[in-house]
Structure 1
Amino acid sequence: MRERRPGRQALGTPRAAGLAGVVFALLLAATMVLLRLGIPEGANAVTARGFTDIGRRDAVRAALSLVPFAGVFFLWFIGALRAHIGAVEDKFLATVLLGSGLVFTAMLFGAGAAASAVLAVAHPRGAAPALASWDFGRHLAYLLMTEYAMRMAGVFVCSMSVIGRRLGVLPHPLSVLGFLTALTLLFVSSSVPWAELVFPAWSLVLSGYILTVSGPAR
């Protein structure tokens, strides 16, 4: 019984990684889309005075309430990815992978809290928030999400792609896709709206691959 139990755990962990990655990708994508739609950026920020649609605010608030669950699934995704990589791994890259994932989670929570604060300053009857409060909260939310969280996500994707390439646990096309995703997150996401969606898209593709290769045969 002691010899079989570790084998069953090794079979189940990679498949759990795929499921956790799918849920994380869907939750993060939904949060990003609703955050973009509910809290405008750039030239569209002038609509702050018209931010009186209670239904839209409630939809954004409901999406932001999913951020903690996205963080939980992402942490599970990190642990299960490390189990999928195996015991033979580059300790330096493994540390970068884990550290960037943890920092990304912290930045994601911070961006969600800042966006929630923007919604909270509005009057309960639906009045527009004060311009100073709106600008501060809006800029803080977008800085945390596009400048810091996405760059940490880029480091996470790059380190995972390098590890997968060196150890052969990821196919070549998926490694190349990871490098392109990392470049987008590091250099493009802060200046091009909606570019941050490449991270949940990459997570979804990687999760699908893990679900495909992790079966009873492993």
Structure 2
Amino acid sequence: MQTSTTSRREPLQTPRAAGVAGIVFALLIAAAIVLIRLGIPQGADTVSYQAPDPSRRSAVKWALLLVPFAGIFFLWFVGAVRSHVGEAEDRFVATVYLGSAVVFTATMFSAAAVASALLATSHPAGTSPSRPTWDFGQHLAYTLMIEYAMRMAAVFVCSTSVIGHRLGIMPRWLTLLGFLSALVLLFVSASVPWSELVFPAWSLLLSVYILMESFRRSATAPDPEPAA
């Protein structure tokens, strides 16, 4: 009896938590991407070899501070959605969904750690950095973030859209938008700057939809009958 009560309670509580966590994640990761792009606007391949501008270093440092919190809220979002779907999800798709989320988070953390270490140890104050160290650190951080993390994000978006379509919990337009976003992240993000913002934009749209649906269901849910 207690198990059935818990299962009836989850659909009203979990989506709202997922929506809030997803909105916070989308805003944080979008801010981090924008700050990194502004801090190193030309990317790792064409940035000039010189001491980093203080304002750009500050922008990158702020971006790196946001990444861990974005990862925390992303995992909260993933856990809340998975808890809501529960036993209804297909095991194969659920494994891809959870695995891509974990790998995406780990890859973003690795890219942030590399960039942070590069800024902290690449050169003493007032001197130019060692060019091999500088080039290696930049290329490694950008490769992890743009090529690997965004492709894992594409897998996550695609698997989420598949789950939402199969269970009928996502509208058709949002499912198609998810597949389109996955294609952009998979094939375009590595070569077109700023296209990685597709992922936080999709996450924000999905989270807002989940939150609105949660409030709508709460408003239309019948009042519980008083106990006899």
Q: Same fold (TM over 0.5)?
A: yes
For 2:168 and 2:10, how far apart are their aligned partners in 1? 22
1:41 aligns with 2:48: no
Q: Is the 8 A contact 2:39 2:55 kept in 1?
A: no
Letter of the structure 1 residue corresponding to residue 109 of structure 2: F
Q: How far apart in 1 are the matches of 2:22 and 2:71?
A: 11
TM-score (norm 2): 0.87
Q: 1:170 corresponds to which residue?
A: 170
Looking at structure 2, the residues matched to 38 and 179 of structure 1 have their Cα atoms a distance apart, in angstroms, of 30
Q: Residue in 2 aligned with 1:56?
A: 56
- CA drift of 1:83 comes to 2.8
Does the 8 A contact of 1:161 with 1:175 survive in 2? Answer: yes
**Unaligned segments of structure 1, at least 5 residues:** none
SS at match of 2:87: coil
3-state secondary structure, aligned to 1:45: coil
Secondary structure of the 1:192 match is coil
> Does the Cα contact within 8 Å between 1:38 and 1:57 map onto a contact in 2?
yes
Corresponding position of 1:11: 12
AA in 1 matched with 2:61: R
Instruction: Give the conservation status (yes or no) of the 8 Å contact 1:158–1:179.
Output: yes
Distance 1:213 1:138, change over 3 A: same
Residue in structure 2 matched with residue 130 of structure 1 by the alignment? 130
2:99 matches 1:106: no
Aligned length: 216
How far is the alpha carbon of 1:166 from its aligned partner? 1.3
Q: For 1:6 and 1:85, how far apart are their aligned partners in 2?
A: 11
C-alpha separation between the residues in 2 aligned to 1:190 and 1:19? 29
Aligned 8 A contact 1:20 1:73 in 2: yes
Residues of 2 paired with 1:176 and 1:54: CA distance? 43
Aligned to 2:226: none
**Residues 142 and 54 of structure 1: CA distance in aligned 2, closer, same or farther (over 3 Å):** same
Mapping for residues 154-169 of structure 1, pairs under 5 Å: 154-169=154-169
State the distance in 2 between where 1:55 and 1:61 align: 10
Amino acid in the other structure paired with 2:47? A
CA deviation after TM superposition for structure 1 residue 56, in Å: 2.7
Paired residue type of 1:35: I
Report the 3-state secondary structure (helix = DSSP H, G, I; strand = E; otherwise coil) of the residue aligned with 1:125.
Answer: coil
Q: Which residue is 1:213 aligned to?
A: 213
Aligned partner of 2:103: which letter? V
Structure 1 position 43, deviation (Å):
5.8
Q: Which residue of 1 aligns with 2:24?
A: 23
Deviation at 1:126, TM superposition (A): 4.7
Q: Is residue 151–residue 186 contact of structure 1 (8 Å, CA) maintained in 2?
A: yes
Instruction: Quote how far apart the aligned CAs of 1:185 are.
Output: 0.8
- Does the CA contact (< 8 Å) of 1:104 and 1:149 recur in 2? yes
Q: What displacement does 1:70 show?
A: 0.7
Counterpart amino acid of 1:161?
A: S
Per-residue deviation, 1:149? 0.6
* Cα pair 1:85 1:164 within 8 Å, conserved: no
Question: Structure 1 vs Structure 2: percent identity of aligned residues?
Answer: 62
Any conservation in 2 of the 1:14–1:84 contact (CA below 8 Å)?
A: yes
Structure 2: gaps of 5 or more residues: 222-228
Confirm whether residue 66 of structure 1 aligns to residue 66 of structure 2.
yes
Could you tell me how far apart the structure 2 residues matched to 1:162 and 1:79 are?
Answer: 17
Cα distance in 2 for residues equivalent to 1:136 and 1:34:
21
- Aligned letter for 2:57? R
CA apart distance, 1:172: 0.2
